[in-house]
Structure 1
Amino acid sequence: MTRHHRTCDTAGQKNAWRGSASRLLRPILLFLVSISAATGCTAMSNADTSTSTEPFRDQQSTTEAKTQIGHWIVPEMTLADAMRALGARGFSCKPAEPASGKFQSSVLCLRSTPASPPPHQRITAPATPINWFVTLNSKDGALVTDFEVARTPREIGG
């Protein structure tokens, strides 16, 4: 009988240990699940770059800028949405005369790099200001057909 009594004690101790371990691990598991869910949601929201607020990089080539802007301005996007996307990144947009007869309307969006601080507040020579020009073209006056990107001064070799 003594032997049976030890077995019951051991089983009781095992159940008590399992209960304690379960109570200790449950908050840890909940924390890990919530972290992985939040990370997954963040990754999914970052996948749609057309609505992201990735800042425009002033220091890049025209080709690189066209690629970056191409993530925000997609074919058949409305002109209004394209203007909002560029406006959120520091561009000012206004209607312009279409450069070609094949477009019904065009919108010119401009962005200039910030002015350099005054001489007494800087250590180096001022950077050359860069002006960016994005032209949104539309065949029907409502949707973006294509866009062009230019800058002054032109990049070396550009």
Structure 2
Amino acid sequence: MATGKYMANGATCMKMGVPIAHGPVAGSFPFLLVFLVSISAATGCTAMRDANTSNADPFRDQQSTADAEIQLKRWVTPNITVVDALQELGSRGFSCEATQPSSQGIESSILCLYSTPSSPPPAQRITAPATPINWFITLNSKDGATISDVQVARTPGEIGG
């Protein structure tokens, strides 16, 4: 077989020992190749977008309330929809449910909780475990559709705070 030449072999052609389709299938090969490349690219872009949400900026449970409020307000921006805020916090490990509004003028309130992940068993620890912290995030909405206020609290309280 000569290099660079096609040798007929029944329903296929050979180039350097690799079968290459011909006939009706050969015309669809470029289309198939473009299709597969575009599917791969789209899947990769989707995975990159998903990776850029919750994993790129996870909630830091060992921080002050003021720092947590700054971090949370990057995700729950003013006038974000309630649905989008719930998806954003849910993707970062918060569990949320509706609660009674705590003041006049608030149409709906949602309480979101986040607890420090549990420590490994003593035999697997290198250091003493961090004090477990429970975070309480209240999302208030004046119109029931968009977030108008975010309140952040934690237990135990901060040292000196």
Common fold by TM > 0.5: yes
* 1:62-88 deviation line (CA, Å, top 9, x unaligned): 000000111111111111100110011
Secondary structure at the aligned position of 1:71 is classed as helix
Give the residue type in structure 1 aligned to 2:135.
W
State the shift of 1:152 in Å. Answer: 0.7
Between the two proteins, what is the percent identity of the paired residues?
61
Match of 1:121 among 121, 124, 130: 124
Match of 1:130 among 133, 145, 149: 133
Give the residue type in structure 2 aligned to 1:110.
L
| Unaligned ranges ≥5, structure 1 | 1-44
Aligned counterparts, 1:1-150, within 5 A: 52-53=53-54, 54-150=57-153
Give the residue type in structure 1 aligned to 2:65.
T
Distance 1:55 1:153 in 2: 21
State the shift of 1:99 in Å. Answer: 1.0
State the shift of 1:125 in Å. Answer: 2.2
Instruction: State the aligned residue count.
Output: 111
Distance 1:123 1:77 in 2: 42
Distance 2:99 2:76 in 1: 18
Distance 2:125 2:100 in 1: 40
Which of the two has greater strand per residue? 2
State the shift of 1:156 in Å. Answer: 1.1
Misfit runs of 4+, over 4 Å:
none
Secondary structure at the aligned position of 2:67 is classed as helix
* 1:90-147 deviation line (CA, Å, top 9, x unaligned): 1000001111122010000000011111112113322210111110000111110111
Which has the larger Rg? 1
Distance 2:160 2:100 in 1: 29
| Unaligned ranges ≥5, structure 2 | 1-47
* 1:24-64 deviation line (CA, Å, top 9, x unaligned): xxxxxxxxxxxxxxxxxxxxx99xxxx83311111110000
Distance 1:116 1:57 in 2: 15
Distance 1:56 1:125 in 2: 21
Which of the two has greater helix per residue? 1
Distance 1:154 1:102 in 2: 28
Give the residue type in structure 2 aligned to 1:93.
C
